[in-house]
Structure 1
Amino acid sequence: MRFDWQEAGLSADEKADKVLKAMTEEEKFAWLSGPMAIPLDDETLPDGAIGSAAYYPGIPRLGIPAMQQSDASLGITALGDVRPGDNATALASGLLLAATFNPEMAERTGEMVGREAFAKGFNVQLAGGANLIREPRGGRNFEYLSEDPVLTGVMAGHSVRGIQSQHVVSTVKHFAVNPQETGRVVVSSNLSESAMRESDLLAFEIANEIGQPGSVMPGYNLVNGEWATENTFLLNDVLKGDWHYPGWVMSDWGATHSAAKAALAGLDVQSGANLDQQVWFDQPLKDAVTAGEVPQSRIDDMVRRILRSLFTVGAIEHPAQPHGDIDYMAHRLIAQREAEQGIVLLKNSHQTLPLKRGAAKLLVVGAHADHGVLSGGGSSAVTPVGSLRLPGVDFMGIETEKVFHPSSPFWGIRAESGAAEVTYLSGENIAEATEQARTADAVIVFAEEWRSEALDAQGLSLSDEQNLLIQAIAAQNQQTIVVLETGGPVTMPWLDAVAAVVAAWYPGSGGGEAIAGVLFGRVNPSGRLPITFPASEAQLPHPEQIDPESTTSLPGMPVKGGIIPVDYDVEGSDVGYRWFMRTQQTPLFPFGYGLSYTSFDYSDLNVTAEGSDINVTLTVTNSGQRKGADVLQIYLHPVDQRYVSRLAAFRRVELQPAESRQVRLTFEPRVIACWDEEQSQWLIEQGRYQVLLGKNASETVLSTHVDLPGRTFGYQV
């Protein structure tokens, strides 16, 4: 059967219009709200649902397949074992991806997620985490990317582009200023428009431009006193107005609070409607249309946006059907290569690393390293076959487990090291571990810090038990290496006592092999920190956390104490490293920091302004003895110091020993500019600007300046 939308030469908009005209009102409303397609209590799966985050019925008479929606950026999830025995490749955490500073890797891993989603029958992926990390203790930081808007936007945009290349729509989320999980349904993120435009919104804006996601998902929180799902400024004024966004806006699951108000503010779909107080976008929205509160044209606009996005990525022309044709071994290697690029070497005293092969005895301690590598919890948790599952937290009525992916660092170390003896201890018995440490050539201690959706970290410290274990082992063996598997920055009271520290984040399905490769030199570490590691919580703009006992983090639950405002104008647009610069504090490790087994030299830094483009050229040379990759980081600030240094461009460069390369980078102009609220436009002030090549945000290796004319630019209507 041939359908009208299959006429040759039609654009996605024209195809969407043809389908929309043929749809009944009931068919339209069937796509405006839907339950979570994971059974709760006595619920059953909707007919036709695979079992995932959501299902919306197809329209066979019009050739329109059902929408099957799955989480997340890090792989295809099966929360609550909704698809028993389902296998999937687990990518590393978003923080590790951002630590690669490699947009090509973001796109490649996005393509992998899209391929697996399509092969499992999904055509919408709830991916694209682009929240700026304002709160380093945030429970979902491992899903996100960085504290910098350019790095976040570029990496998120390329990940989305990769997913959508496989006929699968991707979201970006959670729009916007959604930094914490504690009280996420009662917290109002309060922030001036100019600060928001220069930070959180800029990250989403860049991600949208590069990735062109089919959908945008607001968060649970309020922004300046209005729910994100009812926030006219965010959804209508900025997203659909200034940015001309053509896709649809879906709520987070259980985050819708009204019918007419939400629809008029720009929300297009009520997701997880069974988690809300009522199904707002069914009868209540129909009643609002009948009463004239919401025009019929708005309903049509909602549906048209969904159809357009599905047609744009080819999800209707190429309907996803579960077929299981997935090369998991090839995908595991992609995950391993991602981890190898994003692991960060933080300390390496006396060139302890890489470890020499052929040792008599190596000791591996802690963090279930004999089985696998830690992952984050919640809706993004991927559970490959063979994962170790331990008790976690109750999440939206579903028991979410603490998962270790089946990629054992212990076995990876045995394979890479060629050691005569490699022993594993859990570390629970400190006396046993220290006794064994005395006779080992080196001790590799794995330390873990688990984070999950609905569960912020309480402070920045590892557990007391782990800190004591590391101190005790380091006192017995000078060759103690600590490998951190964390969902964000942690403090390190034992830092001076250990020989080396490696930040492995949550490294995914190839994580064990990647860690071993770094420890023994098969991999030259090239990751750079996408987030500042503070020396203590006292250095943060918000050192005190919201009391988790005074609030709730689950939708649909009673709110204790009403709305909790958080004043993010304390730091404004100076998030992360910018805050440390502004307050002249020295962090434990700065943004952009990372060591290598080789060295790099730099020369010929030059800046040219060509029309509205500002370009930087420089020469980088691998001056060491090993092949390696460097991350060039260009920062900029006005000479009059009206704002602190901002990352304006970056590039990852791989070089052979003695190889030199001239590199050209182009500045992001919105980083140079500030937002003028009165004129609603970007403003670059005339004057001299310092241009810095940084090893990281705190260490400059070359500098020059550029004189810029003043100019303004905004958004075409």
Structure 2
Amino acid sequence: MGACRSDPRGGRAFEYFSEDPLLTGVLGGRSVRGVQSNNVVSTVKHYVLNANETGRSFADAQMDEPAMRESDLLAFQKAIEIGQPGSVMCAYNKINTIYACENAFLLNDVLRRDWGYKGWVMSDWGAAHSVSIRQGLDQESGTQPKDDLWFGQRLKDALAAGTVASADVDRSVFRILRTMYSLGLARDPAEGRKPIDFAPHLDRAQRAAEQGIVLLKNEGGILPLAGGAKHILVVGGHADAGVPAGAGSSQVWPVGGSPVRLRYDDKMYHFRLYMPSAPLAALKEQYPKATVSFDDGSDPVRAAQAARSADVVVVFAEQFRYEGRDVPGLSLPENQDELIEAVASANPHTVVVLETGGPVAMPWIDRVPAVLQAWYAGNRGGKAIARVLSGEVNPSGHLPVTFPVAAAQISNPVLPGQNLIDAAKGKDVRTLPKEQQVLPIMYPESSDVGYRWYARQGLEPLFAFGHGLSYTTFDTSAPTVSGTTATFTMRNTGAREGADVAQLYMVSQAGQPKLRLVGFERVELKPGETKQVTLNIDPRFLADWKDGGWHMPAGRYRFALGESAERLGPAVEAILPARSWRESGAPAS
């Protein structure tokens, strides 16, 4: 699940859901439901404020309680309410000087007392720093071979010394066993299941990739690619072999094997893998009557020369991200910006497909008519991308994160830990002397994470949170808001079937400007079809955290539906009464 406070340069940003607390909570909770429907325990992580990878094992995320409650904690709370995950995994980093896996305030007071969480808490691999069972940690999930277990002999020693009681251990064991039985692991053990039928899973992976691809720009209707094109040139991105994937704990060996493996550090098992679904082959399948040729993009001059004779050029640009270290900046690596500039100068009918793990800068954006954000598209990613490019699939994805113009727009424009990266001179920052392993991280945006920061500062991003185009058009009526319910209609005004995501934002709270996503729904519509949509608004997203509880001031609240957080329709007003309440979860067991 990650954190909603993901740095745009975050090494694991590709694993996170979004920068918004509501969207992150809903997507995270629904994912947990899906996993646990198979009698498998799901773990939500990293609890909490694990926004950066550089120096994560000693970074100290510093934030006051109200800001946490209104952003990252609220995202986890929503996900836990919806999904009821069996386990929560605490993060590597410190929060306000205390490591996440021994932070009694977060683990006992917030998670268990306030939210009534009944599952168990496990550490990330090697993230335990003490025998912190009384502080709320139930399981030490793993260590490196050279490390000593905290929940091994040291726990036995603590029991003997009386600093830990047998009742503490019993409590943790109860949490684990209760959860395993409640989720049906005893009734349906994994080892007794049939072999996996990969075909339907690959079909689902393809559909997920197709729905997640975001059409960022499409001037002149260059997309979908014309069926009459005689020569399509594909450039770069290893598009002749497959699609890239991020690396680290989330990396899996793809079905069918990896066509390209590039080592990215000195550890034998660390590879930059590609999924075996080549966009080049998929485009040839989509356009059997056209000549579909390939240039690897290693020489911009050669690629530009080839582009001159093509009807249309599709440039695949990639950015590799992995666990343990953030990317240095927002620029595409390996001179790909220069490649795109050269090709676009040679052929104005150039489409860019971005295969990245997060936002990137686009200095060439005014030179190309179309840009597709394909992310890390997975085991059938090449086919998914080709189907969107050809129009066989109508794009319906929307950005879950803001794409800044440049790093200067980010709340922390200098990457946290950049000074440590410089000092380490290419090595892991953990190799620095202990006295140098100090990384306090401040958050100038407070609870105004992501698009909220841009609105507060009056900044115009490259592409806003929620942005996403379609091959059809939609019309949405102004919402009617009654209490915490909003109703409106959506209509497909174009000539083809498509889907759009209705986004409802609060734009002012009791007369004060404040931008927050408070509801959303994906709606599929046939041409000319109209549907009524009703969104229920969780009052916590209208409230602030003050004096140990939620407070909604009385007054005039304004709401607007938007195509994105930046492009909002007419605002409507609702007068809401004051309301205050405290969390009322069951006491910690």
State whether structure 2 residue 118 is matched by structure 1 residue 246: yes
The match for 1:706 is: 574
Contact 2:478 2:572 in 1 (8 A): no
Q: How does 1:305-704 map to 2 (within 5 A)?
A: 305-321=175-191, 325-384=195-254, 385-394=256-265, 399-463=269-333, 465-545=335-415, 546-547=417-418, 548-550=421-423, 559-568=434-443, 570-609=444-483, 614-638=484-508, 642=512, 644-676=514-546, 678=547, 680-704=548-572
Q: 1:388 corresponds to which letter in structure 2?
A: P
User: Residues 232 and 291 of structure 2 are in contact (CA less than 8 Å); yes or no, is this contact kept in structure 1?
Assistant: yes
Partner of 2:102: 230
Q: What's the TM-score, normalizing by structure 1?
A: 0.79
Which residue identity lines up with residue 213 of structure 1 in the other structure?
Answer: P
Does 2:117 correspond to 1:258?
no
Counterpart amino acid of 2:564? N
Secondary structure, counterpart of 2:133 in structure 1? helix
Pairwise CA distance, 1:666: 0.7
- Native 8 Å contact 1:434 1:473 kept in 2: yes
| Alpha-carbon offset, residue 640 of structure 1 | 5.2
CA distance in 2, matches of 1:365, 1:685: 55
SS for the counterpart of 2:179 is: helix
Equivalent residue runs for 1:253-292 within 5 Å:
253-259=125-131, 262-274=132-144, 277-292=147-162
CA distance in 2, matches of 1:202, 1:187: 22
- Where do residues 125-164 of structure 1 align in structure 2 (5 Å cutoff)? 129-164=1-36
CA contact under 8 A between 1:139 and 1:456: conserved in structure 2?
yes
Give the root-mean-square deviation of aligned CA atoms: 1.7
Does the C-alpha gap of structure 1 residues 152 and 258 become closer, same or farther in structure 2, counting only changes over 3 Å? same
Tell me, in whole angstroms, the C-alpha distance in 2 between the residues paired with 1:490 and 1:504: 12
CA apart distance, 1:523: 0.8
Deviations 1:363-386 (A, max 9, x none): 001111111111000110121132
| Higher deviation after alignment, 681-690 or 442-451 | 681-690
Further displaced range: 585-594 or 597-606: 597-606
Match of 2:73 in 1: 201
- CA contact 1:276–1:555 (8 Å) conserved in 2: no
Kindly indicate whether the alpha-carbon contact (under 8 Å) linking 1:130 and 1:156 is maintained by their aligned counterparts in 2: no
Distance 1:554 1:383 in 2: 28
2:57 counterpart letter in structure 1: V
383-392 or 554-563, larger mean C-alpha shift: 554-563
How many angstroms does 1:461 deviate by? 0.6
Matched, 1:184 2:56: yes
Matched residue type, 1:599: T
Q: Secondary structure at the match of 2:499?
A: strand
Cα offset, 1:209, TM superposition: 0.6
Could you tell me how far apart the structure 2 residues matched to 1:343 and 1:631 are?
13
Shift in Å, 1:398? 5.5
SS in 2 for 1:305: helix
Contact 1:605-1:618 at 8 Å conserved across structures:
yes
Aligned residues of 2:6 and 2:16 also touching (Cα < 8 A): no
Distance 2:280 2:79 in 1: 38
Aligned counterparts of 2:78 and 2:364: Cα–Cα separation in 1: 39
Unaligned ranges ≥5, structure 2: none
3-state SS of the aligned residue for 1:142?
A: helix
Code of the aligned partner of 1:649: G
Moved more, 149-158 or 429-438: 429-438
Q: Secondary structure at the match of 1:638?
A: strand
In 2, Cα distance between equivalents of 1:209 and 1:193: 20
Cα distance, 1:555–1:288 mapped onto 2, change above 3 Å: farther
Count of residues in correspondence between the two structures: 579
3-state secondary structure, aligned to 1:265: coil
SS of aligned partner of 1:217: strand
Superposed CA deviations along residues 194-242 of structure 1, whole A, max 9, x for unmatched, are 0000000011001101111111101110001000111111111111111
Residue in structure 1 matching 2:47, options 169, 172, 175? 175
Say whether the 8 Å CA contact 1:343–1:526 is kept in structure 2. yes
Asked if structure 2 preserves the Cα contact closer than 8 Å seen for 1:353 and 1:521, the reply is yes
CA distance in 2, matches of 1:291, 1:553: 37
Query: The residue matched to 1:635 in structure 2 has which SS?
Result: strand
| CA distance, structure 2, for counterparts of residue 642 and residue 183 of structure 1 | 38
**Inter-CA distance 587–528: structure 2 relative to 1 (3 Å threshold):** same
Report the more deviating stretch, 556-565 or 510-519: 556-565
Structure 1 residues 329-381: Cα deviation after superposition (integer angstroms, max 9, x where no partner): 11111001001111000110100001111321110011111111110001101
Indicate conservation of the 8 Å contact 1:450/1:486, yes or no.
yes
Q: Please give the alpha-carbon distance, in whole angstroms, between the structure 1 residues aligned to 2:113 and 2:561.
A: 36
Which whole-Å CA distance do the structure 1 matches of 2:274 and 2:297 have between them?
17
TM-score, with length taken from structure 2: 0.95
The yes-or-no answer on 1:166 pairing with 2:38 is: yes
Q: Is the 8 A contact 2:478 2:569 kept in 1?
A: no
Give 1:133 shift: 3.4
Residue 561 of structure 1 deviates from its aligned partner by: 1.0
Give me the whole-angstrom Cα distance separating, in 1, the residues matched to 2:252 and 2:429.
21
The question of whether the paired residues in 2 share the 8 Å contact of 1:133 and 1:144 is answered with no
Quote the Cα distance in structure 1 between the aligned partners of 2:395 and 2:289: 22
Q: Distance in 2 between the 1:643 and 1:241 partners?
A: 33
Cα displacement (A) at 1:499: 1.5
Could you list the per-position Cα deviations for residues 239-276 of structure 1 after superposition, in whole angstroms to 9, with x for gaps in the alignment? 111111111111110111111xx111101111213457
* Residues 371 and 406 in structure 1, CA contact (< 8 A), matched pair in contact too: yes
User: Partner amino acid for 1:700?
Assistant: L
Offset from partner CA, 1:525-548 (integer Å, 9 cap, x none): 110000000000001110011222
1-structure distance, mates of 2:428, 2:117: 30
Cα 1:253/1:389, change in 2 over 3 Å: farther
Q: Structure 1 554/153 Cα, relative in aligned 2: closer, same or farther at 3 Å?
A: farther
- Cα distance 1:466–1:347, how it changes in 2: closer, same or farther (>3 A)? same
Superposition deviation, residue 400 in structure 1? 1.3
CA distance in 2, matches of 1:241, 1:398: 44
Are the aligned partners of 1:177 and 1:200 in contact in 2 as well (CA < 8 Å)?
Answer: yes
